[in-house]
Amino acid sequence: MTKIAFIGAGSLEFTTSLVRDILTFPLLQNATLALMDINAERLEFAERAVRKIIAAGNYPANVQATLDRTEALRDADVVLTTILVGSTDVWRHDIEIPKKYGVDINVGDTRGPSGIFRFLRTLPPMLEIVRDMERLCPKAVLLNYTNPMAMLCGALQRQTFIPVTGLCHSVQGTAKMLAEWIGAPFDEITYTCAGINHQAFFLKYEWNGEDAYPLIRKAVIERPEIYNQEQVRNEMFLHLDYYPTESSGHNSEYNPWFRKRPDLIEKYCTHGTGWNPGEYAYILKEYQKTELTWKERVRADLARELTPEDLKRGDEYAAYIINALMGGEPFGFNGNVPNTHLITNLPYGACVEVPVYVDKGGFHPIYVGALPPQLVALIHTNVMVEEMAIEAALTGNARLVMQACLHDPLTAAVLSMEEIKTMVKEMFVQNRAYLPQFTKIDVE
């Protein structure tokens, strides 16, 4: 019997969709699902939602719900993390302080000053989780869904013997989007995608073995509804020749080209028709609205009878990976792993997102080679910012946090070095209670 621990089970959308997918595999239908959260009310809702799925599918699975992380992790085979440190009252400052200095943020959960401070807050509890795993389930695997993905996985991978990989749905989501754009059945598409989380690119994208990039370029150039759907990503594709994996809202923050002036934000970041438009603080506003209504929505969902359609398997990687690890069919996915010469022109040991093959023997990352120079020029800059942030978080070096922010592409496009230092000081003061690894805050 497989035991799967969900740490942060109160993230209801993730928990319910992952449980739904897991239980579609015969090998996992009698699993023990250990749900853990620090919020008792959210945990109760998660337990009820999971029990509802089990009942609707008539599965022999067991459920444990607990506020005790030790209880959830003991003897687990797989651990899934979907945690968030602090409410919007905490992480709103990640976005609002940079805006005061002129750095306009859309999402703020991955990189830049917003992502760096989210990482600094989130690493201590994530390290506690892996330390508990080392004691309580040393043979388990950690599948992380928590952002900022690359920095968290990069830090954990060099601090524990527990196998850690990070999972994100942007690769498979973008691959399907591109297939729809060119009218291709997705089962006829093959691709190779690599880079870093939220900044990977499709190095190959083929339809029945033929290069599909000419068809994608034609669709982007000739069909306004497609260009307008992903303005930032389409501009990046038209200029860099390879398609990026993450949405336009996210991507607009990761480079110096789209958010450094109001006229550019207006032109490229506010009129997209796809998910995650580029407006300032979009995700913060969405979370604030959700916090006001989530109980009503959850109660409505719990009252609704599930249909067979509701129990169908989705596209998230985790269930397929767990099935493979437990001896089921091997599976290929894009995961976040240490760069052991997988991408030859990115730093050794950095967390990269590459094709990975998983079976009962564990994870087997695939060699990619060198990225095209026009891609690595951008990616390498962001990798080095992340490497500085990881080193700073593990050593308590506040000045290195400031230096990481100095090199963030968007921040550097907007602010002077002295302005960045002043901004970072303010962000440290705001986050002081959540940064136990920094015994002294001195960026001078």
Task: Give the tokens for residue 95.
Answer: 């976005």
- Decide if 271 contacts 231 (C-beta within 8 A): yes
> In terms of C-beta density within 10 A (0-12 exposed, 13-18 middle, 19 or more buried), how is residue 48 classed?
middle
**DSSP letter (8 states) at residue 273:** -
- Decide if 214 contacts 243 (C-beta within 8 A): no
Rounded CA gap, 161 and 165, in Å? Answer: 12
Tell me how many degrees the CA angle 134-138-139 measures, rounded to the nearest 5.
155
Q: Under 8 Å CB-to-CB from 166, ≥6 apart: which residues?
A: 143, 144, 145, 149, 150, 152, 153, 197, 335, 336, 351, 353
- Decide if 45 contacts 298 (C-beta within 8 A): yes
Rounded CA gap, 104 and 66, in Å? Answer: 40
Rounded CA gap, 238 and 57, in Å? Answer: 46
- Among 169, 250, 364, 407, the active-site one is 169
Distance of alpha carbon 105 from the chain centroid: 17
Taking residue 232's Cβ as centre, other Cβ atoms within 10 Å add up to: 27
Rounded CA gap, 333 and 318, in Å? Answer: 10
Is 380 a known active-site residue? no
Rounded CA gap, 410 and 199, in Å? Answer: 14
Residue 312: CA count within 13 A, CB half-sphere: 6
Rounded CA gap, 102 and 115, in Å? Answer: 16
Rounded CA gap, 198 and 276, in Å? Answer: 14
Q: What positions carry a catalytic annotation?
A: 169
